[in-house]
Structure 1
Amino acid sequence: MTSITAERLASKQTAFDEIPIVDLAPLVDGSDLHEVAEKIGRVCEEVGFFYVKNHGIPQELVQRMYEATEWFFNLPYEEKQQLNVANSGPTLRGYVPTFGENVDPENTRDYKESFDFGEHQDEVSPFFGPNLMPKDYPEFEKIAEEYHAAMMGLARHLVRAMSVSLGLPEDYLEQKQQKPITIQRLLHYPSQDATASQEEIGIGAHTDYGFLTILSQDSVGGLQVRNREGAWISAPPVDGTFVINVGDLAQTLTNDLYTSTLHRVVNTSGKERYSIPFFMDLDYDAIVEPLDVCVSKENPAKYDAYTCGEHKYARFVDSYAHLQQ
């Protein structure tokens, strides 16, 4: 994630005052891919954040994932620490305690704890390998794998629509995602009230440094998105929806046509908050540079080429205390 100190606001972003909702039904059932693609393209340019409804993910599965999430974070600290992300080596999966990650370290400390996992791999390499899982609750791993697979399916739908929105074949972007880096994260934001320190908020202002994020948030709220004028706009929970945002990789590929928008979490509700974001990137060795369709004489390429995996790992080093040590 890129901190507020390195922000890049795309020229097409607007002074939006609310987050739009996109109906995915015609995309999921295959009846009108182009209609949904046009809507997604427009909100990616103007806002970079949107809700999706009629996405095809059973609410029952989402509920089971929340129950498992609360169970995990209620474990004794010593048990969670046995699964610390530092024990996963380059795979970078596992438990991150409070203040173990800070996305805007010059301004805030992140008052949250998290747990990351992905698709199980036997071979260990950066972002790939086995998951660290609690041993006393076998259902946890089963639910986690089922939820991750569902998010992958939804992400594939969204990526096809994004390709079409750019005037490209629907499988164009997917060619860079044959074995993409994915992170399924569980988040717990401890209770804070209105008197909480401004230096310790749920998560500091940042843009996601990947390609696409699919977020489920509970009923507590606290997500805020910053518009072009610098105002923080609330993105409250909406029943039956996910919040989608594009990250820095998408902004690079589209040469700033799509907006990787600053956002943060401020949980001053006095309640525990849980959320479940899924991050989908590109293949580790995928080259990230502005697409030809987004470059012209009037709008030359704004970015030099870089490799997805190396870029992402460098951002983790910036944010994770154990990697800095």
Structure 2
Amino acid sequence: MSAEIVHLDDRLKAERQDFDRIPIVDLSALRSGEDHAEAVSGLRWALANVGFLYVKGHGVSDALVERTFEAARQLFALPDEEKMAIHISKSGEALRGYTEFGGENTNPGITRDLKENFDVGLTYPGLTGPFQGENQWPALPGFRETTEAYLQAMLDTAVLFLEGVALSLDLDRDFFKPKMTQPMMIQRMIHYPSQAGQIDESSIGIGAHTDYGLLTVLAQDNVGGLQVLNRKMQWVEAPPIPGTFVINISDLMQRLTNDTYLANLHRVVNVSGRQRYSLPCFVDCNADAVIEPLPQCIDGDHPSAYGPISAGQNKLNRYAASFAHLN
């Protein structure tokens, strides 16, 4: 580990507060069918005010999460030529595979992302178009089986969470179900090296951005580095909490709720002196699902702020702005 002293630019210093600004919501009651009023109320407050929350009681085993982290560590330890052999550009419109350092920039023109990614997704035989197709797999024993099991666990978690979101909006619990018959879901593995020396916004783990689609389910390792912007325009740490996922809602959810719920800016700055790994699962509905503001989120004081857009087109627009090989 480098002994060089880290000097963070002022804009990269997160506020460390005595209380947790990102709430924790227990999903156990939603899973069990018990009285879920407290969970739904917690979701409503978190999504309207923070856009982020920790969830516990999600039902995913710690053992599966750790196996998936180990698979990610093995993947990123491969020689560059093996990773580039499954580069995302080789997957065509499926847009799945490995992305090298600098190959994706989420805040282009301001920040160069200091990370490498690997993406896989759900497959639907016969379904074609952007974000549809086959996954590319590294030649690592057990990697595919572990990753596919984890992706299924993330789908189950997302469906449960969306049921809670629907209830929080006074909708039928199954409101999202017709939009999730063939959901676009990308399970990503990310590796962030640690930074040292004089650091500013021009090159950090991930530049400030909001996520695409409906929501993101994130497993963090124990390194930390995620920062979320609060209403006072302060960057607030989102430290790892064992046994939880971080869930944040994304652009389409903000569009659907006509800004009632917040897709919040966040970024990653890794100055821990250790390698950081994370497992974000980006959850979208069906590619042809049309998203526009809900009628109950529109009134005289809050006119509709968005027109309709398909989930697939929204995702493609955001990818085109971020991935170098699509330019």
TM class by shorter chain equals over 0.9
| Corresponding residue to 1:302 among 298, 302, 305 | 305
- 1:36 deviation in Å? 1.3
Per the normalisation by structure 2, the TM-score is 0.92
Aligned 8 A contact 1:104 1:205 in 2: yes
- Change in Cα spacing, 1:235 to 1:194, as seen in structure 2 (3 Å) is farther
- 1:93 deviation in Å? 0.3
AA partner of residue 154 (structure 2): M
- 1:314 deviation in Å? 1.1
Q: SS in structure 1 opposite 2:198?
A: coil
Hey, what does 1:76 align to over in structure 2?
79
Counterpart Cα distance in 2 of 1:39 and 1:17: 14
Hey, what does 2:131 align to over in structure 1?
127
Aligned 8 A contact 1:194 1:269 in 2: no
Residues 139-177 of structure 1: per-residue CA shift (max 9 Å, x gap) = 100000000000000100000010010001001122222
Q: What is the correspondence of 1:147-226 to structure 2 with a 5 Å cutoff? A: 147-226=150-229
Aligned 8 A contact 1:103 1:110 in 2: yes
Residues 286-315 of structure 1: per-residue CA shift (max 9 Å, x gap) = 111101121123321111111110111011
Aligned 8 A contact 2:218 2:245 in 1: yes
- 1:17 deviation in Å? 6.3
Hey, what does 1:287 align to over in structure 2?
290
Aligned 8 A contact 1:34 1:161 in 2: no
Counterpart Cα distance in 2 of 1:194 and 1:207: 27
Residues 242-261 of structure 1: per-residue CA shift (max 9 Å, x gap) = 00100010000000000000
State how many pairs are aligned.
308
Hey, what does 1:33 align to over in structure 2?
36
Q: What is the correspondence of 1:41-60 to structure 2 with a 5 Å cutoff? A: 41-60=44-63
Counterpart Cα distance in 2 of 1:32 and 1:92: 41
Q: Which runs of 5+ in 1 are unaligned?
A: 1-15
Corresponding position: 1:230 with 2:246? no
| Corresponding residue to 1:239 among 218, 242, 245 | 242
Q: Which runs of 5+ in 2 are unaligned?
A: 1-18
Counterpart Cα distance in 1 of 2:141 and 2:121: 16
Counterpart Cα distance in 2 of 1:289 and 1:31: 32
| Corresponding residue to 2:145 among 125, 142, 147 | 142
Counterpart Cα distance in 2 of 1:66 and 1:171: 32
Residue identity (%) = 47
- 1:122 deviation in Å? 4.0
Q: SS in structure 2 opposite 1:245?
A: strand
| Corresponding residue to 1:101 among 84, 104, 110 | 104
Q: What is the correspondence of 1:250-289 to structure 2 with a 5 Å cutoff? A: 250-289=253-292
Counterpart Cα distance in 2 of 1:85 and 1:154: 26
